[in-house]
Amino acid sequence: MSTMNLKCAVLALVLGGTAQAVEPMVPYDNFNPTEPNPARATKVRGIDPARWVDHETGTRLESARELAFTRLRLMSRSDTPGAGSFGLLFSHSSAVTAIAAKVRLNNARTTGYTAPGAPAAESTAELTGHFFNTRTGVPSKNQQDDVIAAIRIVSRSTDPVGSQLLRVEALIERCTNASCSTRAQLFAADLGQVHQGEQAALRVQWDVANHRFVFQRDAQPEVYGAYTVTDTFPPASPNKALVVTHNPPTYLSGAPAPLGYANAYFHDVFVNESAAPAP
């Protein structure tokens, strides 16, 4: 194989994507303002406001959203139930149908007493977005029936205490209320374990023609999350984002206070071609 062919093959592998139905992936931001990919007409200091919008829901004890040399760093620490998510939205989220990035959850901890039968508390680093809505006529701010897809690295309160093992997961959910604070799961897949501090290349891509999402971790085989709901209507919230999230357990009086901590790094962000940023 010639050098050029090898490079093309490597490039195809990096960009990923299913062959027939989805747009090719293109660079969106490598979080390296000195040598940006894609190139910019002018260099920027810090996070590029033309490409990203700050995003935060809930409250937290401590947080950081910053360029860390050649990566984006998102850090959040919270002991508050309903801590929500913290990160960056794509500035033109509506055009984004696919997100890929290298993600490293450098440190995460999720503790707290979980009531019997209640889901475990979670801290995550995610590539996520609202991709469509299952019904028409949704008021613009009512996110009910928005369908969310995410690929994420997860720490859970049910993990062994002190464990440095995290999980990589793919997830499709439907919002069940207007604020999307409650959701119904449409699809979930475990993409394997990852250590704290271990980098994973993640991709989530809406394959609308085949009514499914495509998930991929590193060079592992693609995982397809098929759904049967209607996918022809735009979401109420067009947000696509890189975030860290906390979902602490319901705090039970007398139990130790819950804690969610996530310190994550993102870089080499790609999106579908039609969402490519302006130079």
Q: In the chain, what is the greatest distance between 2 CA atoms, to the nearest angstrom?
A: 67
Binding mask 19-48 for other proteins (x = CB under 8 A): ------------xxxxxx--x---xxxx--
Go through 34-60 and write b for each residue having 16 or more CB atoms within 10 A of its CB, e for each that does not: eebeeebeeeeeebbeebbeebeebeb
Under rule CB under 8 A, residue 162 binds other proteins: yes
Across the chain, where does the E strand assignment appear? 25-29, 52-56, 62-68, 71-78, 84-90, 98-111, 122-133, 146-156, 165-175, 183-195, 199-207, 212-217, 223-226, 240-247, 259-272
The residue range among 16-24, 112-120, 130-138, 259-267 that interacts with other proteins, by the rule CB under 8 A, is: 259-267
The residue range among 135-143, 159-167, 206-214, 269-277 that interacts with other proteins, by the rule CB under 8 A, is: 159-167
Q: Compare residues 43 and 135 and give the one whose CB is closer to other proteins.
A: 43
114, 216, 263, 272: residue in contact with other proteins (rule CB under 8 A): 263
Q: Compare residues 176 and 199 and give the one whose CB is closer to other proteins.
A: 199
CA-nearest of 126, 130, 100 to 216 is 100
Reduced to 3 states (helix: H, G, I; strand: E, B; else coil), residue 226 is: strand
Helices (H), the chain: 3-15
Under rule CB under 8 A, residue 198 binds other proteins: yes
**In sequence order, what are the residues at sequence separation of 6 or more whose Cβ sits closer than 8 angstroms to the Cβ of residue 144?**
138, 175, 176, 177, 178, 180, 236
94, 136, 158, 163: residue in contact with other proteins (rule CB under 8 A): 163
Q: Compare residues 48 and 207 and give the one whose CB is closer to other proteins.
A: 48
- Are 195 and 164 in contact by the 8 Å Cβ rule? The answer is yes
- Are 175 and 145 in contact by the 8 Å Cβ rule? The answer is yes
Q: Compare residues 181 and 193 and give the one whose CB is closer to other proteins.
A: 193
Q: Compare residues 130 and 156 and give the one whose CB is closer to other proteins.
A: 156
Under rule CB under 8 A, residue 240 binds other proteins: no
Q: Compare residues 59 and 193 and give the one whose CB is closer to other proteins.
A: 193
The residue range among 63-71, 143-151, 174-182, 236-244 that interacts with other proteins, by the rule CB under 8 A, is: 63-71
CA distance 114 to 191: 25
Under rule CB under 8 A, residue 141 binds other proteins: no
67, 95, 189, 208: residue in contact with other proteins (rule CB under 8 A): 67
CA distance 278 to 28: 9
Under rule CB under 8 A, residue 160 binds other proteins: yes
Under rule CB under 8 A, residue 156 binds other proteins: no
Amino acid at site 185: Q
Amino acid at site 184: A
Under rule CB under 8 A, residue 230 binds other proteins: no
71, 156, 212, 240: residue in contact with other proteins (rule CB under 8 A): 71
Binding region for other proteins (CB under 8 A): 31-36, 39, 43-46, 64, 67-71, 73, 104, 106-107, 109, 160-164, 195, 197-199, 263, 265, 267
